[in-house]
Amino acid sequence: MYTSERLNRQRLLHSHGLGLLFAAALVALFGAVYEQFSFGVWSFWMVYAFAPLLLGGIWLLVLPKRKSVPGELFLGLLEPGLVMLTLGMLLAGVVEIYGTENRLLPVLPTAGGLLVLAAGIVRGAGACRKQPRAGAGQPAGGA
């Protein structure tokens, strides 16, 4: 991998990490406002709905410091998974504050968790795989 490509990936991860941190701040603000107007009723899910985005943003800000930088598949699995987790937690909080139940509520957070797990597996597999070098039997443009 060329240095310029690595720097572009690092910048991409950094910008996505900052975006997730900003989204986490917005979700935390939304949760605080919703709790304020819920007449003293609160939900664990609503209070901590910002946590997946916060942890994902921190993870993306720490990743570029390592030797191997993950690719687009990692981001393509991680970000939708974090958003699904967050939306599932917000939905569960709203339903819980409203005072009802729904057996389909765990579907969204479970799907989000599976996507985040898949992103972790892709990241682990990508970190263990060596990048092929140009000139080692391959054309310089790659195949």
Across the 143 residues of the chain, what is the mean pLDDT of every consecutive 10-residue run?
69 88 95 83 89 92 71 86 92 86 86 92 70 51 47
Residue 71 lies in a domain: yes
Residue 11 lies in a domain: yes
Contact 52, 16 (CB under 8 A): no
Residue 88 lies in a domain: yes
Residue 40 lies in a domain: yes
Give residue 109's pLDDT.
87
- DSSP at 20: H
Burial class (CB in 10 A: 0-12, 13-18, 19+), 79: buried
Give residue 111's pLDDT.
92
pTM of the model: 0.78
Contact 90, 51 (CB under 8 A): no
Give residue 142's pLDDT.
47
Contact 45, 98 (CB under 8 A): no
Give residue 75's pLDDT.
85
Residue 72 lies in a domain: yes
Burial 92-118 (b: 16+ CB within 10 A, else e): bbbebbeeeeeeebeebbeebbebbeb
Q: How far apart are CA 139 and CA 20, in angstroms?
A: 38
Contact 53, 23 (CB under 8 A): yes
Residue 65 lies in a domain: yes
Give residue 68's pLDDT.
66
Residue 45 lies in a domain: yes
Give residue 56's pLDDT.
92
Count of structural domains, the chain: 1
Give residue 143's pLDDT.
44
Give residue 130's pLDDT.
52
Residue 134 lies in a domain: no
Structural domain including 106 reads 3-128
